[in-house]
Structure 1
Amino acid sequence: MYHRFVARRVRRIFAMISAGDWQPMVDGMAPSFTYRFHGEHALAGSRHTTGALRAWWERCFRLMPDPTFRVEEVLVTGPPWSTRVATVLTVTADLADGSRYENVVHQFVRMRWGRITEVRTLEDTLVLQRALDRLAASGFAEAHAAPITD
């Protein structure tokens, strides 16, 4: 029952992000957390504060306005004090330069008593880097900005 509740919440959060509201993701973080997006690009890096995470989501939406996250699979294991969630998503977006973006995302989350303590996001970095390069070539300098970290 608990695992179904968590999976349903994950699906709901991604639906909210797809509707333009990423704040529930930020609000779900524990007081001490790590939010890591793997790679070496403008969206990469580790964040440990809600301020840095908020700035990261703002950048994501500037570079990829109106993204859609289609949840393909959610796997939940563990008790409420040590929950692990694996999610497979397809993300699509019309980029700020007018091109279309589509990629597969794997996200691994650790939770403790309903609060997120760790997020590790893996996306096909070649596909992402090519999109960021197109944006930068079209005048969106932030696509090649240093990662937001703290």
Structure 2
Amino acid sequence: MYHSIVKRNIRAAFDHLNKGDYEKVLAMFSPDIRFRFPGQHSLAANLSSLPDVRNWFEKFLSTLKGIQFEILDILVEGAPWNTIAMTRFRDTIPLPDGREMYNEGVQFLRIKWGKIVEDQLYIDTQIMESALSEIGKPSV
């Protein structure tokens, strides 16, 4: 039952991101969240506070306007005090010329008592760099 609730919450978080509502996602995070988005591009991040993650989400969604996520798989294991969840996803990034760019990734979450304490995303950073190059640099 508990693992089903975690999966439902993860699906809801991706649905909120698809609508551009990152505040509901942030409400799931611990104040001392460890957040990592890899790469050597303008959206790469290694953060350890909720205000910094909020700023990152603002920048991410304003840069990749209209990005959409599709969940492919979710795996959850562990007890409420130390839960690990892995989500395999595909994203679609609309480009200024009307084309779309696709990327796949995996999200690693560590959850303690209902709050996400660690969020690490693993994507194809070359695709992300290519998309950002076509979109242009963020204005944040």
TM-score, scaled relative to structure 2:
0.92
Structure 2 partner of 1:120: 120
| Bigger Cα displacement from structure 2, 118-127 vs 47-56 | 47-56
How many angstroms does 1:132 deviate by?
1.1
How many angstroms does 1:113 deviate by?
0.2
Please provide the CA RMSD for this pair.
Answer: 1.6
Residue pair 2:103, 2:124 contacting (<8 A) in 1 also = yes
Which amino acid counterpart does residue 120 of structure 2 have in structure 1? Answer: R
CA distance in 1, matches of 2:44, 2:16: 22
User: 1:89/1:42 Cα in 2 relative to 1: closer, same or farther (>3 Å)?
Assistant: same
Unaligned runs of 5+ in 1: 146-150
CA distance in 1, matches of 2:32, 2:69: 26
Structure 2 partner of 1:89: 89
Unaligned runs of 5+ in 2: none
Asked if 1:23 is matched to 2:23, the reply is: yes
Structure 2 partner of 1:148: none
How many angstroms does 1:79 deviate by?
0.1
Asked if 1:142 is matched to 2:138, the reply is: yes
Residue pair 1:64, 1:96 contacting (<8 A) in 2 also = no
User: 1:60/1:95 Cα in 2 relative to 1: closer, same or farther (>3 Å)?
Assistant: farther
Structure 1 residue ranges, 4+ long, deviating more than 6 angstroms after superposition: none
User: 1:98/1:10 Cα in 2 relative to 1: closer, same or farther (>3 Å)?
Assistant: same
User: 1:35/1:55 Cα in 2 relative to 1: closer, same or farther (>3 Å)?
Assistant: same
Structure 2 partner of 1:102: 102
How many angstroms does 1:51 deviate by?
1.6
Which amino acid counterpart does residue 18 of structure 1 have in structure 2? Answer: N
Q: Give percent identity, aligned residues only.
A: 31
Structure 1 partner of 2:65: 65
SS at match of 1:42: coil
